[in-house]
Structure 1
Amino acid sequence: MYWFYLIAFVVLGYWVLTDGNGMFGTQPEIEYSTFKEQLRSDNVERVHIQGNRIDGIFRTEQKLQLTDSDTTSYKNFITVIPSFGDERLTDLLEENDVIISAEADSDGFWWYFLVFSMPLFFLLLIGWMFYRRMQMQGRGMFNIGKSQAKLQEPGKNKTTFDDIAGMDGAKTELREIIEFLKDPSRFEEIGAKLPKGVLLMGPPGTGKTLLARAVAGEAEVPFYTITGSDFMEMFVGVGAKRVREMFKQAKEKSPAIIFIDEIDSIGRKRGAGLGGGHDEREQTLNQLLSELDGFEPSENVIVMAATNRPDILDKALLRPGRFDRQISVDLPSQNSRLEILKIHARNKSIDESVDLKKIASSTPGFSGADLENLLNEASLYAGRNKRKKIIMDDIENARDKIMMGLEREGMQIDDEEKRILAYHEAGHAIVAAALPNSDPLHKVSVIPRGKAMGITMQLPEKEKYLYNKEYLLDRMAVIMGGRAAEQLIFNTATSGAQNDLMQVAKLSRKMVVEWGMSEKFGHLAFGGDEEDVFLGRDMTRQKSYSDSTAREIDQEVQVISQEAYDRALKILKENKEAFDKLAELLIEKEEVSGEEVLSLMKDDSE
């Protein structure tokens, strides 16, 4: 688009300066003597004189030989008055009744100036366009060593702790940081030092970045934000220079906060990679460590960082004097989920029948970001069904989509496969309903969602932070219910149990190797696996037990898995009538609630 305008401007300027093809149209240049001859012959109708140039029109067309091969008739002409002048020219023009017009020679200066300045203007325009493109990209040659941190001035950040639900422990720790920033002298009088850094650790979506913004909003200080990857560049030394620039800017505006998101991208353990200890990432980390340790107490600059992989961070980052405070930001509890839902529901049109408390209890393991997404998906469901308010069914559908995946519409399943699938899911559901230590059954479905052909959904009544042996054994029996159902009804095994078998193998191995829940090994854990954070697990794993012990562990894992299968098979045989009824109900309705399953079990026992 820029090139089009530029070319149009040049063409238009040339046309204006030359007046198309001249003042009087197409004009050949003739000798002055020829002009005088035509003038004496009374064949000149009008002339326009500018300086020593004459543009004119003949009364009748004249054949003029301009070149050896060009003899053409022209009515317009151009000629130039000789440098010595012609004093009688005006008299001759008047004697022959020629119409005369004239303009000063100096008036054409600006036209010539424009013509000759156009190339310079063209080059300047190209340079300006190139400079603007470099600025927009932000990573051009002019910005290669500059800090990429974005500054939020005090007052522009409106986020406070009122916008954050739960996380009371983290808020308490961070309020001390805010008080330090607001009135550092009060703490310095009693010998307290300003914390150098705060590391926020927790799973993705738990609100680590939101907490950092809230600290800046509460303290009303300049807030610099940057991600760990923004330090890295293809040029050696750029990352370290950007770290220096960022801290220099923050010190000039102290008190201030620097927030580094995803610090694990530059803060990984040094010396673990294949490239040794001289790569660009490690130079950047070394500079960051130097800046953290080089703070003066009066500078009042606090560094906050967030990561969901604290296990791979370099130990030098975590020592006192650098990241003094390490705050764990965990997944919200049930009460916290309720408060988070209330915050996200402020700007949503929700029907009065919606029970947010029930939603909070039915979403264990959801992060704050997941809960926000839940209500957003529910609003999309409501809009799709042309409702003006979100109802409970919308939220239920949104939760099922998030937890189990999108429903695969149009998928054709033949009757035999559907029957196998119904008995498989019914096997999970009957075992879950029969065992006392399993989570309450919410629903069972044979509607394909995501990668699963069917699903049995259980929802815990409360948060679980510790898992006892009885719960884990019941959990594995529920998982084995699908494979046991296939064997009992069809005397075969299908590939649909692949994920079930992997879960049981993982749980049983953890019980034996890590949690000391094996009858054979007793209260003994075989931990101590060390893996390189760059080379991966399989290449560097070091086992803390012998090969013979490994064989015994495999045997014990097999025993636990077989016992889970035998328990599931026994329960299905004992509840065969309810089992068959549930499978037929699933074939008919495709989805059955947990209450209906419990009702079938109760009728069978009577």
Structure 2
Amino acid sequence: MAIVAALVYRPISLHVSPPVVQSQDIAEITKIVPNKDRLEYLLLAKPLSEFPRYVFKYKDAATIHVVKVPSTSHANIEREVLLKNAIPYAIAGDDYLSKNKQVLQDEQAQSGMLAEAGAFLARNAIGLILIGFVLVGMRKGIPGMTHSASVIKPDSLKGSMDDLIGMEDIKKEVAHLEEMIRNRDLYKSHNIDKPFNVMLTGPAGTGKTKLAGYLAKKLNIPLIQASGSGLESGFVGGGSKALNAMYKKACAQGRCIIFLDEAQSLFMPRGRGDKKWDDDTANTLLSLLDGVKSEEGAGVIWVVASNFDDARMEMDEAMLRRFAVKINFRLPNKSERRELLHVFLSRKDERCVDWTNLNLNYVADITANLSPALLETVVDRASMIAIDENCLIDTDVLFRAFERSTIGLTDRATTAELHKQRERVALHELGHFFMQIDPYLRQGLAIEAVKEKSHLLKISTESVSKIGALGYVLSSGEDVNLQTLEEMEQDIKQLYGGVAAEELFYGARGISVGSQNDIQKVTAKLDLMVNRLSMYSRSKIDYKQLKGDASNDEAVRQVEAKADELYTSTLDAIRGYRYPIEALKETLLERYVLSKDEVFDLLKDMGGTDALLQAA
């Protein structure tokens, strides 16, 4: 789902082409996020090619950076990095590329390709000109592909509102929307005569796209579906013409729903560009949403969907005002996850599921914060495992399917001969675990009570290629997590547990780079606590909104001081668990993986809470 948005950069005057640094490292693009204030411009060159190029320059740097990425990664980068962080960008124009020819150069291969292309053009010039005329005629002035959006009749739409499992609050909102559409005359009597434009927001995979189809089917009206990213083709006015074309097609149907999916790029604030046509598509959508052509389009209902809302992304105020109805989707709670799992499993042949050995409450508990789409993926993965192993789907198979879907493939062979590395990984992961249960042990709770409160699922020293890890601690989450200062500090200590265990056994100079991800998470959490929430100050303000180097320096000092305090506390605590960590390490190295039951059984064999506290 590529999102090609016509955002903007500030043009610069280039008399001499600056040096260009070529790269294929996608991480270079993600580094823009913390440095976006330094960004002079960001351009997208050849967005429809197999290898689009991100071209950017920092204000305080003389070089231009060019990052070449596969087209399969391009959509994710736009959505998860640029749009999510409101980083403005534009399509590189011919004038820019002609002044900076080295942007498109791929060393020696590029010149060979250009020569070959020139020869091809020379041989086939007449044929290419004819093809160009045909294509222009087919376009009829509407660039892009969205003019071909087809009308889907209601009897061709699948599913029903009953497929929206649980989510009674969402269903209630949709029922109210349906009643509003069916009883327009009643609302006209209250002087409410504007179109009922509908905005659907919420996490991916929660059913927003399906809901638009369900609504059209229930109201027995046709649907025209298009992607917000598909409106822009790189041609000036392409998005506006595509929108008008869809609107005319919808008006011809009388009553019709136009559904724009992934439309967040159209909601970004206007007026940031230097070109007068930069906001053409958004302005056209605004006029259509406002019912300027209300007489001919009185039966047209606009439904737009976005994974972001105005709380997580800056949106254009005028655009937000156009939507009288806003429905915010959410992730399912535990009871809804249980019901979803039951429905997905019930669709399979009864001979495929071992219902007697299936604890859906447990599976619903460990799958916290998963969307309905991801839950269905887990169930499908469970079927693949069951087919591969010629067994029935039970709790264990679903657990392994959850692990495979969320973590990825695990491998023992990678670390089988690396005993020293496996030992370090085992100590690191056990450090995380003991700092997770440390508060409960210090409360004097029995091992069984500690086990009940612990979110641990398993400790593993198997490698995970997806995240580049040689081991991990798998834990379940919580549906609602309104944390206190004490709980957030405990999270930091748990993250520090791994690096503290390494220092305990290998010394301060023996800490490995494997703690990088933990330290990044700690830094982000402390930044939130100190600078955003002002948790350690009587002045409850958001320091991030204050400008100036002095305030930034003070914020860094506060973060460093609190990090030092919490790490020292973690190191003191972990020293007390040296004996149980060493004992569990040997078993973990032998078995590669320890489940929650196995871990707590071993702790009982050590003498339970009293013995662990004495050691600590």
Pairwise same-fold verdict (TM > 0.5): yes
Tell me what 1:589 maps to: 591
Tell me what 2:384 maps to: 380
How large is the Cα RMSD of the aligned pairs? 2.7
Residues 480 and 568 of structure 1 are in contact (CA less than 8 Å); yes or no, is this contact kept in structure 2? yes
The Cα shift of 1:236 comes to 2.4
Tell me what 1:467 maps to: 483
SS in 2 for 1:337: helix
- Cα pair distance change 1:139/1:206, threshold 3 Å: farther
Indicate the percent of aligned positions where both proteins have the same amino acid.
Answer: 28
The amino acid across from 1:500 in the alignment is: D
- Cα pair distance change 1:318/1:345, threshold 3 Å: same
Between the aligned partners of 1:244 and 1:417, the Cα distance in structure 2 is: 61
Whichever of the two has the greater Rg, that structure is 1
Matched, 1:269 2:284: no
Tell me what 2:470 maps to: 453
The Cα shift of 1:469 comes to 1.0
Pick one of 287, 292, 307 that aligns with 1:290: 287
The Cα shift of 1:289 comes to 0.9
Between the aligned partners of 2:529 and 2:602, the Cα distance in structure 1 is: 33
Residues 163 and 343 of structure 1 are in contact (CA less than 8 Å); yes or no, is this contact kept in structure 2? no
- Cα pair distance change 1:140/1:331, threshold 3 Å: farther
Between the aligned partners of 2:522 and 2:201, the Cα distance in structure 1 is: 30
The amino acid across from 1:420 in the alignment is: R
Tell me what 1:305 maps to: 304
Residues 427 and 481 of structure 1 are in contact (CA less than 8 Å); yes or no, is this contact kept in structure 2? yes
Alignment of 1:157-176 (within 5 A): 157-176=157-176
Between the aligned partners of 1:452 and 1:277, the Cα distance in structure 2 is: 49
- Cα pair distance change 1:251/1:424, threshold 3 Å: same
Matched, 1:406 2:406: no
Residues 228 and 265 of structure 1 are in contact (CA less than 8 Å); yes or no, is this contact kept in structure 2? yes
Tell me what 1:506 maps to: 524
SS in 2 for 1:309: coil
SS in 2 for 1:187: helix
The amino acid across from 1:205 in the alignment is: G
Between the aligned partners of 2:174 and 2:191, the Cα distance in structure 1 is: 20
The Cα shift of 1:200 comes to 0.8
| Runs of 5+ unmatched residues, structure 2 | 1-126, 444-452, 612-616
Tell me what 2:422 maps to: 418
The Cα shift of 1:141 comes to 3.2
Deviations 1:501-552 (A, max 9, x none): 111111111100111212xx234233555xxxxxxxxxxxxxx144233222
- Cα pair distance change 1:248/1:378, threshold 3 Å: same
The amino acid across from 1:455 in the alignment is: Y
- Cα pair distance change 1:435/1:600, threshold 3 Å: farther
The Cα shift of 1:258 comes to 0.9
Between the aligned partners of 1:564 and 1:457, the Cα distance in structure 2 is: 23
SS in 1 for 2:147: coil
Residues 264 and 307 of structure 1 are in contact (CA less than 8 Å); yes or no, is this contact kept in structure 2? yes
Deviations 1:84-140 (A, max 9, x none): xxxxxxxxxxxxxxxxxxxxxxxxxxxxxxxxxxxxxxxxxx9xxx99x97xxx995
SS in 2 for 1:457: strand
Of residues 402-411 and 215-224 in structure 1, the stretch that sits farther from structure 2 once superposed is: 402-411
| Runs of 5+ unmatched residues, structure 1 | 1-125, 530-543
Tell me what 1:526 maps to: 542
SS in 2 for 1:431: helix
Between the aligned partners of 2:387 and 2:590, the Cα distance in structure 1 is: 29
Pick one of 423, 436, 440 that aligns with 2:455: 440
Residues 197 and 325 of structure 1 are in contact (CA less than 8 Å); yes or no, is this contact kept in structure 2? yes
Aligned residues: 452
Q: TM-score, normalised by structure 1?
A: 0.70
Between the aligned partners of 2:353 and 2:538, the Cα distance in structure 1 is: 53
Deviations 1:350-404 (A, max 9, x none): 22122222211111111111111111111111111123x3222221111112222
Residues 424 and 482 of structure 1 are in contact (CA less than 8 Å); yes or no, is this contact kept in structure 2? yes
The Cα shift of 1:597 comes to 2.9
Tell me what 1:89 maps to: none
Tell me what 1:15 maps to: none
SS in 2 for 1:443: strand
Deviations 1:460-484 (A, max 9, x none): 4x42241111111111111111111
Residues 236 and 277 of structure 2 are in contact (CA less than 8 Å); yes or no, is this contact kept in structure 1? no
The amino acid across from 1:573 in the alignment is: R
Between the aligned partners of 1:193 and 1:236, the Cα distance in structure 2 is: 34
- Cα pair distance change 1:143/1:207, threshold 3 Å: farther
The Cα shift of 1:435 comes to 2.2
Matched, 1:395 2:410: no
The Cα shift of 1:585 comes to 1.3
Matched, 1:549 2:551: yes
SS in 1 for 2:346: coil
Between the aligned partners of 1:222 and 1:383, the Cα distance in structure 2 is: 40
SS in 2 for 1:203: coil
Pick one of 575, 600, 606 that aligns with 1:573: 575
Alignment of 1:190-339 (within 5 A): 190-193=190-193, 195-273=195-273, 275-279=274-278, 282-293=279-290, 294-296=292-294, 299-310=298-309, 311-319=313-321, 322-339=322-339
Between the aligned partners of 1:141 and 1:248, the Cα distance in structure 2 is: 16
Residues 382 and 400 of structure 2 are in contact (CA less than 8 Å); yes or no, is this contact kept in structure 1? yes
Between the aligned partners of 1:238 and 1:551, the Cα distance in structure 2 is: 47
Residues 181 and 196 of structure 2 are in contact (CA less than 8 Å); yes or no, is this contact kept in structure 1? no
Residues 147 and 246 of structure 1 are in contact (CA less than 8 Å); yes or no, is this contact kept in structure 2? yes
